[in-house]
Amino acid sequence: LAGNKGNVFTGAQAAYETPDTLFGYPLMFSDRSPGLGTTGDLMLCDLSYYLIKDGSGPFVAISPHVHFTTNRSVIKIFWNVDGEPWLSAPLPLEGSVANTVSPFVILQA
């Protein structure tokens, strides 16, 4: 892929301490995304439209039972966090019902 100025997209940008980008937009990779060639394998997201809410916690739990034979206890600290998109549907452009915009665009298979 090449940008409008002729710059080629490569993973070598990390050598210059700049993040990988696609036409100037930062790339983030996840092992939780669907396989290549399926719906959702590529998404364009403006994460400023993603709301995160701290839930309850932090909680602390201790268990002497997990490593009983080695005389060790396990301590677990956790809290609940939730998140969802700010918008529930794409927004129609002014004067048009067919054309919409969204901060989250998912590539179809």
pLDDT at 9: 55
pLDDT at 66: 83
* Span 18-68, pLDDT tens digits: 667 888 778 888 888 888 889 988 888 888 999 999 888 899 999 988 888
Domain ranges of the chain: 1-32, 33-106
Pairing mode, strands 43-45 and 104-106: antiparallel
Angle at 34 between CA 32 and CA 40, to 5 degrees: 110
pLDDT at 59: 93
Please tell me the pTM assigned to this model: 0.57
What is the share, in percent, of the chain residues with pLDDT greater than 70?
Answer: 83
